[in-house]
Each structure stands twice: as C-alpha cells, then as structure tokens.
Amino acid sequence: MQRSRILGPIGIVWLGLTLGVIAYATRLGLFLAPVDALQGNVFRIIFYHVPHSMLSLLFPYVNLVASLFYLFWRQRDPLKSLTADAVAIASAEVTVVYASICLWTGMLWGRVEWGLWWTWDARLTSMLLLWLLYVSYLMLRKLSSTGQTQTLAAVLSVFAAIDVPIVYMSIKWWRTQHPAPIFFSGDPDAKMDPSMLPAFLWNVLGWAMWGIFLLCFRYALERRRQKREQDAALQAIEASLEMAQ
C-alpha cells in the first residue's frame, strides 16, 4: 500500500484532534480562566501570544537540523537531501507564521499595557530580527535563480538559528521592558497563577499540534512539487533521447 494512502487518514484524524484541542483551549482562555487582577481581560491575549512565541523559537531548530542534513547529504545522497530540503522550507514557513503572530499579538498587548505599539527593547528587537532572517530565507529561496539556492538557504539557516538563543536569553541578559518568562525565570512575581495554567498549557498543546500539522502538510506539498520537477526533467531527457534517435 502506498505510504500516502495511510498518511492521509492519519492527517485528517490529527487535524480533527487539533481543532478540538484548540477549541477547548480557546474556551478555557477566553471564558473560564479567571480575570487577571492587574491587567483585566486583556491578559487573555497571553494565552495565544506566549504559545506562539515559544513555538516560534522551536521551529527554527527543525529548520536548522534539516538544513544541516541537507548540507551533509547534498553530494552523498541527493534523494535524501531533497527530503531534508522539503522539511527545511516547511519549517521556515511555519516559523515565519508563528513569529508574525508573536510580534502582532505582542504589539496589540503592548499598546494596551504600555501605551506603545513598539519599543526597541532587546526582546522585541531580537524577535523582529529572527522574523526578518526567516523572511529573508524564504525570499532567497523564492527569488534566487542560481543552481545553489538550496545550499545558500541552508547556510543562511545555520546563521539564522544563532538568533534563537539570543531571543530566549535577551530578557535575562539585558534590562528589558518585556515581562519576565512565566517558567524558569526564578522571579516569583512572574509566575502564572495556578488557576490560569490549564488554559495556558492546553493552548500550548493545541498550537503545537497545529504547527506539527502545518509542517507535515507543507512538507507533503513540497515533496509533490519535487516529484513534479523530477518528472519534468525525466520527460525532457526522454524527449531529447527520442530526438537523437
């Protein structure tokens, strides 16, 4: 049996589960989690903002690992390198989607809480830089006409991944306006109230499942594109051989 015939139903079941978890998490975040004593209802933005921010720092590592495999395999095993390249482009796009949401929802929260849409704070600036790096990665792949586009993109991906720990550590290394992290901060004031944790954790789970679904779906699309390009190349070779005869 073809692998795609098994993966199709699994994908549909996964999507159904994911939408169920997101619906439940959204209900918890919007209607059941208690109102924050200091911020009021605008605090509920956190239930979408923080999971997207956390995941936008994880998908770049999928891109990095895939890019490293691409660089390793590109001359040793071109077929495997194509698989790695498909994972790399899929994860870069998902990174841009999650980082865009992180920046946008952060701006909407900042406008209410700080009275500012944007400030050149270390966390915000390093996150914007991360977004720009992955947008430039996608632009390079889209616009470059050299035969080395995938290799150049893989090298850029290695450099872009360096920004991820800088974004994560920015609120520890520098004095910033951004709130301290909810977990692993050591600051008791920054910790989330236990009554809000279920809404937060369900949202992390739901958006992580959604991100995995998008990653797999985009990967499958890229593999289909690669297959079409291989077919076109094969047909061109066959046509040239027929002409030679």
Partner 1 sequence: MFGSSMEAHHLLYVYLSVWLIQGGYCAWIAWQWLRSGKDSRSSIPLDSETGRDS
Per CB under 8 A, residues contacting partner 1 are 1-4, 26, 30-31, 40-42, 44-45, 48-49, 52, 77, 79-80, 83, 93, 97, 100-101, 104-105, 108-109, 111-112, 210, 214, 217-218, 220-221, 223-228, 230-231, 234
Amino acid letter at 115?
A: G
Sign of the CA dihedral running 178, 181, 186, 190: positive
Residue with smaller CB distance to partner 1, 191 or 223: 223
Task: Please state the closest distance from residue 77 (CB atom) to partner 1, in A.
Answer: 8
Q: Which is nearer to partner 1, 30 or 158 (CB)?
A: 30
8 Å CB contact between 183 and 172: no
- Three-state SS for 162? coil
The residue (of 128 and 152) whose beta carbon lies closer to partner 1 is 128
Identity of the residue, 118 or 217, whose beta carbon is nearer to partner 1 in the bound complex: 217
Long-range pairs for 65-71: beta carbons < 8 A, 24 or more residues apart = 66/91, 67/153, 67/154, 67/155, 67/157, 67/158, 68/154, 68/158, 70/150, 70/151, 70/154, 71/151, 71/154, 71/155
Question: How near is the Cβ of 68 to partner 1 at its closest, in Å?
Answer: 20
- Decide whether 104 or 159 has the Cβ nearer to partner 1: 104
Closest approach of Cβ 199 to partner 1, in Å? 13
**Nearest distance from residue 162's CB to partner 1, in Å?**
26
Minimal distance in Å, beta carbon 82 to partner 1? 9
Q: Kindly list the distances between the CA atom of residue 210 and the CA atoms of 31, 91, 150, 205, in Å, as whole numbers in the listed order.
A: 22, 13, 26, 9
